[in-house]
Amino acid sequence: MVPLEHVIGLSALLFGIGVIGVVTRRNLIVILMSIELMLNAANLAFVGFNRLWPGAPGENALDGQVFVLMVISVAAAEVAVGLGIVIAMFRNRDSVDIDDVSLLKW
Amino acid sequence: MPVEVIVKSLFILLVVVAGLAPVITWIERKQSAVMQDRIGANRADVAGLTVIGLLHPLADVIKLLTKEDVVPYGANRIMHLIAPVIAAVPAVVAYTVIPYGGVYTFGGETISLVAANPDWGLLYVFAIGSIATYGTVMAGWSSNNNWSLLGGLRASAQMISYEVTMGLSVVGIFMVFQTLQLQEMALAQDTTLRLFGFLERLFGVPVPALLGWIRIPAWGVFYQPLGFLMFLATIMAENKRPPFDTPEGESEIIAGYHLEYSGMRFGLFFMSEFIEVVVIAGLVTTLFLGGWSVPWLSQATIIGAISKLFNVEFATGICAIVHFLCFMLKVVVMIWLQMALRWTLPRFRYDQVMDLCWKIILPLSIANILVTGLVILLARGGA
Amino acid sequence: MTVPAILFYVFGALAVLSALGMVLNVRNTVAAAMSLVVTMVSLAGIFVLLEAHLVAVIQVMVYGGAIVVLFLFVVMLLNLRSDDFAPGRARLQKLAGALLAIWLLARVSKGFVSFPPWPPLPPGFGGYRQLGVALYTDYVLLVEVVSLLLTAAIVGALILAKRRID
């Protein structure tokens, strides 16, 4: 099995790709998907660290994986509400382009 | 070890996929014909011999292979190409965890007649089933056609709704059998229960000797009758079997998401539906109808009875064949039941399908979990 | 190079390539969502290699089987076609994004100490029994709070997507 540095490196790489997605894309749905990618990268880091330091057996041995389950639940809730916002926005302005909803001056 | 897995997987592929799925097309035509008081398809013949229409599956395959493959104008070619594959592969792969025989020892070596028995066996089927959604969705989107889009939309909403209730309906079975592995569940259903034993466990009333000898096989359907009905309904809706086939509603949106497919691509969709029929039958058999176990005759009884005539090895082999035939018999009964349901009930309306999932089956399945937990707690003495 | 190591690199490369395919795919939103599914499933494969079996199955079921289908559902409902960058801004934005990502990567990799080797694990680690016991004895408050959160999310999504509040 590969050393943990490679797992964390992969997690950082996926996180970076997610950041590129959030910053450069204009389509709100792709932005939401890039946020999901970043959450997945964090999950990978959690699981990797949990494998390395499992904790004493019988007490808190699976902390990382429990937290991953919580992150997945929170991501599901966020996607539901986010897509509700996308539908409401589409109904108002007929586009999901974030540049069209920007009311700032510059 | 890998050779064993390969042999079992090949067996599943040859018997189930290549053997049973074409036969089911024949069963569907003939059973619907018998139920509707007509003769059915019996014209395909070889040298003048029509074998009550059993050559029609062969004729179907030849026709589908030789038809022209049409990709509609403006369609996304790559997605149009991959969608049937994504729809068909999960149906075949879901069969790897279903046990078609028990655990036998042949002179020191234990063979378990299931291709893979991971720790989280049944969750694998649910995960693979949730991937199968994408074949339908991609087929609906990539065909550049309004009817296909409508069919794909309906299919995606229906399939993800029924995944939730499908998982919740079998939580009662997990609680009763204390395991997620399908082979363990089938092994646990190999015994018999006393019919009135629940009086003793729940209420502390000793069973009178007059009624104590009545035994029923310890099948899942007797532990969880409501779970059986709910699981059957939800897994038929998940696989878009009639009466839940609004995504491919033939009278409303022509053919729904597989409208723009012809030739063997349509054949893949067609075959995957029938392979899913076998998967439904196999899953319901293993979870609720005792799997490969013969009712009232446990494995030890069968081996003991046969080994009076032959030696133990041969008796174990014959027991394996008996168990496999019993499993196939139960699978055929479940296939017959699904075909009967298809040709009896009219198609549900789309809002009725969604109402059924979220307003009826979801509260019922949660109530089922609560009641099952309560009964298990009482049966163990209220610890 | 043992088999788990080879599998890790294969899954990792697949995850990175499909993540790039999702982020850089400008023309087709549905293809971007499909690439996200490939990323999710390859990450689930890596979870299995890291002995987190139940988490891997739940990742495929919830992320790959429900969340991305929800994305696809919205894309198909709103019938979204392609989007394009405005020409001048696109280059600046991509450059800014790439620089930000590279800076993040460098910051994280600077903090790499050398980790100890993998310890042996107790049997049943990452299986559903241990995780279930942990969830419902040590972390039961977390489970209850998350259920409240999901209820709030359901109500919020319903209200946001309704046509008229009447």
Using one digit for the tens of pLDDT, what is the confidence trace for B317-339?
Answer: 888 888 989 999 999 999 999 99
d(CA C134, nearest CA chain A) in Å = 7
- Residue B7 resides in a domain: no
SS3 state at C118: coil
C125 touching B (Cβ < 8 Å): no
Short-list B129, B227, B117, CA closest to B173: B227
Confidence (pLDDT) at C47: 94
Chains B, C: CB contacts within 8 A come to 76
Between CA A66 and CA A72 the distance in angstroms is 10
CATH number of the domain residue C22 falls in: 1.20.120.1200
Q: Determine the 3-state secondary structure of B192 from DSSP.
A: strand
C-alpha distance across the termini of chain A, in Å: 50
- Specify whether the CB–CB gap between C51 and A51 falls below 8 A: yes
Closest to A14 measured CA to CA, from C20, C66, B175: C20
Residue C6 included in any domain: yes
Phi, psi for residue B292 in degrees, rounded to 5: -90, 0
Tokens representing B241?
A: 């079997």
Query: Looking up tokens 């079997």, which residue turns up?
Result: B241
Q: Which of the four pLDDT bands, split at 50, 70 and 90, describes residue B304?
A: confident
Residue B272 lies in a domain: yes
Question: Residue B246 class from Cβ within 10 Å (0-12 exposed, 13-18 middle, 19+ buried)?
Answer: buried
pLDDT tens digits, C11-57: 999 999 999 999 887 778 888 999 999 999 999 999 999 988 999 99
Task: Tell whether C3 and C69 lie within a shared domain.
Answer: yes
Q: Is residue B23 part of a domain?
A: no
Q: Look at residue A57 in the predicted model and tell me its pLDDT.
A: 64
Predicted confidence at residue C83, as pLDDT, reads: 62
Q: Which of C60, C83, C106 is the last residue of a domain?
A: C83
pLDDT of residue B251: 55
Q: Which of A24, A52, A67, A102 should be substituted to probe chain C, the one whose Cβ sees the most C Cβ atoms within 10 Å?
A: A24
Sign of CA dihedral A10, A12, A15, A17: negative
Which of C16, C108, C161 is facing A84, going by the closest CB pair? C161
Long-range pairs, C10-17, Cβ under 8 A, ≥24: C11/C42, C11/C43, C11/C45, C11/C46, C11/C49, C12/A6, C12/A10, C12/C42, C12/C46, C14/C38, C14/C39, C14/C42, C15/A10, C15/A14, C15/C39, C15/C42, C15/C43, C15/C46, C16/A10, C16/A13, C16/A14, C16/A17
User: What ipTM score was computed for the predicted complex, to two decimals?
Assistant: 0.90
Round to whole Å and give the CA distance between C156 and C149.
Answer: 10
Query: Which residues in B lie closer than 8 A to residue C79 (C-beta atoms)?
Result: 149
Residue B27 lies in a domain: no
Beta bridge partners of B192: B217
DSSP, res C114:
P
Tens digit of each residue's pLDDT (9 = 90 or more) over B169-187: 999 999 998 889 999 899 8
Q: Which pLDDT score is estimated for B359? A: 94
Reading the block at residue B220, the tokens are 């899942």
The residue range of the domain holding C142 is: 124-166
Instruction: Tell me the three state secondary structure of residue A26.
Output: coil
The per-residue pLDDT for C165 is 56
Confidence of residue B43 (pLDDT cuts 50, 70, 90): confident
Domain total for chain B? Answer: 1
pLDDT (mean) for A13-23: 87
A27-43 pLDDT tens trace: 889 999 999 999 999 99
Q: Strand locations in chain C, DSSP E?
A: none
* Chain C contact present for A42, CB below 8 A: no
- Say which residues have a Cβ less than 8 Å from residue C6's Cβ, sequence separation at least 6: none
pLDDT at A19 exceeding the cut of 90: no
Q: Map out the domains of chain A as residue ranges.
A: 4-98
Which range is most confident: A61-75, B132-146, B185-199? A61-75
Question: CB contact, 8 Å: A34 with chain C?
Answer: yes
Subunits with 3+ Cβ pairs within 8 Å of C are A, B
C90 within domain boundaries: no
Any domain includes B95 = yes
Pairing of strands B215-217, B103-106: unpaired
Local confidence band at C156 (pLDDT 50, 70, 90 cut-offs): very high
Q: Would you state the pLDDT for residue C85?
A: 54
Q: What pLDDT does B205 receive?
A: 72
Task: Provide the number of structural domains found in chain C.
Answer: 2
Rounded-to-5 percentages of helix, strand, coil across chain C? 75, 0, 25
Contact assessment for residue A67 and residue A43, using Cβ atoms and an 8 Å cutoff: no
Is residue B319 within 8 A of residue B369, CB to CB? The reply is no
Asked whether residue B116 is assigned to any structural domain, the reply reads yes
Per-residue pLDDT at B288: 93
User: Token pair for residue B157?
Assistant: 């909403």
Q: What percent of chain B has pLDDT over 90?
A: 21
Rounded to whole angstroms, the Cα distance separating B222 from B220 reads 5
Q: Kindly report the average pLDDT of chain B as a whole number.
A: 84
Is residue C108 one of the residues assigned to a domain? Answer: no
Residue B16 falls inside a structural domain: no
Query: Looking at beta carbons, which residues of chain B come within 8 Å of C131?
Result: none
More confident residue, B16 or A85: A85
C-beta of residue C80 within 8 angstroms of C-beta of residue C29: yes
Residue B18 counted as domain residue: no
User: Does B364 have pLDDT greater than 90?
Assistant: yes
Output DSSP code: residue B253.
S
CB atoms within 10 A of CB B111: 15
- H-helix or E-strand spanning residue B106: strand B103-106
Ramachandran quadrant class, B122 (left: phi over 0; alpha: psi -120 to 50; beta: rest): alpha
pLDDT (average), residues A67-91: 92
Q: What is the pLDDT of residue C84?
A: 59
Facing residue for B126 by CB, picked from C37, C61, C72: C61
A20/C66 CB distance under 8 A:
no
pLDDT of res. B286:
92
B96 pLDDT exceeds 90?
no
pLDDT at B298: 82
Q: Is residue C95 part of a domain?
A: no
Q: Which has more pLDDT, C89 or B127?
A: B127
Contact B25, B274 (CB under 8 A): yes
Chain A positions touching C31 (Cβ under 8 A) are none
The answer to whether residues C58 and C9 belong to one domain is yes
Burial C87-121 (b: 16+ CB within 10 A, else e): eeeeeebbeebbebbeeebeebeeeeeeeeeeeee
- How many Cα atoms are found within 13 Å in the side-chain-facing hemisphere of C75? 29
Dist CA B32 CA B344 (whole Å) = 9
Give B245-275 pLDDT, tens digit per residue.
Answer: 877 765 565 677 777 888 888 888 888 888 8
Query: Which CATH architecture is the domain A4-98 placed in?
Result: Orthogonal Bundle (1.10)
Helix (H) or strand (E) holding B287: helix B264-288
Alpha carbon B323 to its chain centroid, in Å, reads: 18
Q: What 3-state class would DSSP assign to B49?
A: strand
> For position B253, what pLDDT does the model report?
58
Of B78, B120, B160, the CB nearest to C54: B120
Say whether pLDDT at A73 is over 80. Answer: yes
Structural domain includes residue C101: no
Q: Residue C18 is encoded by which pair of tokens?
A: 């499909």
Q: Domain boundary residue among C34, C62, C83?
A: C83
Among C50, C68, C83, the domain-final residue is C83
Joined tokens for residue B145: 């056609």
Tens of pLDDT, residue by residue over B105-134, are 877 778 788 888 888 889 999 999 899 889
Q: In the structure, what pLDDT confidence band is assigned to residue C59 with cuts at 50, 70 and 90?
A: very high
Q: How many CB atoms sit inside 10 A of residue A24's CB?
A: 25
For range A43-58, the mean pLDDT:
84
Quick one: C67 and C129 in the same domain? Answer: no
Rounded to whole angstroms, how far apart are CA atoms C107 and B377? 54
- Range(s) of the domain holding residue B307: 67-379
